[in-house]
Amino acid sequence: MQKALILFRSEDIDVSAREFMSTYASYMQEVGIVGKEPNGHVVFPSKTAPVEEGYAEFFDEWVTLSEALEIHTAVSMDLYTDAWFARDPKYQTMTASGQLMPHQICPNREEFWEYGAEIVKELGAYPIDEILLFGVGFIRDEFCFCDRCRKEFAPLVDQEPARLTHAYLTENPDYHDKWHEWRTEKVLQGLRVLQSAADSLIGAE
């Protein structure tokens, strides 16, 4: 049976990282800690993302101790759920009816892929074993119908961008399949950028 990884949030631990480790380290072979929250803030010193005040020292001590104790350490990133980056509506994902999701980034945004890649590089500078990505795709089948997605996808199904709807896609199985394929490729493109950032750190060692 595969073991479940316990993922901790710094704000949920009311003692220092050293005290926590001294109490529980003997019970742990692997452990996870949240590095980037859904609000877009990170819990470690960053030149890229806004920093959640009060947790950077805890994070640094946590990963330093877990390395010294040879505990496999994972750090999580909420990717496209990012309220801070989504302050600019042009990055928000959108339904066909024009409803914006104010905390969710459209995955078809190269500039956000690069932003995420910089965070991966910052995390990779710490002595951790893996980075866990959450929320790496389109949130539902009905997304995304922002201007960029409409303009890129509509020509693939013989439709004008402004007239592209989810119903138009679901009524034609071939178009719906193309929708899935196109969105999958967008997600994979973003992941390749993050993977390249991670690989660059390995090559620098």
Reported as a single tens digit per residue, the pLDDT across 56-71 is: 999 999 999 999 999 9
Domains and CATH numbers, the chain: 7-204 (3.20.20.80)
Binned at pLDDT 50, 70 and 90, residue 202 comes out as confident
**pLDDT score recorded for residue 201:** 83
pTM of the model: 0.92
**Residues 5-34 pLDDT 10s:** 899 999 999 999 999 999 999 999 999 999
Instruction: Report yes or no: 72 and 30 within 8 Å, Cβ to Cβ.
Output: yes
Q: Give the DSSP per-residue string, 39-58.
A: TS-BSS--SSS-B-TT-HHH
Residue with tokens 């926590």: 20
**pLDDT score recorded for residue 38:** 96
Has residue 1 got a pLDDT over 50?
no
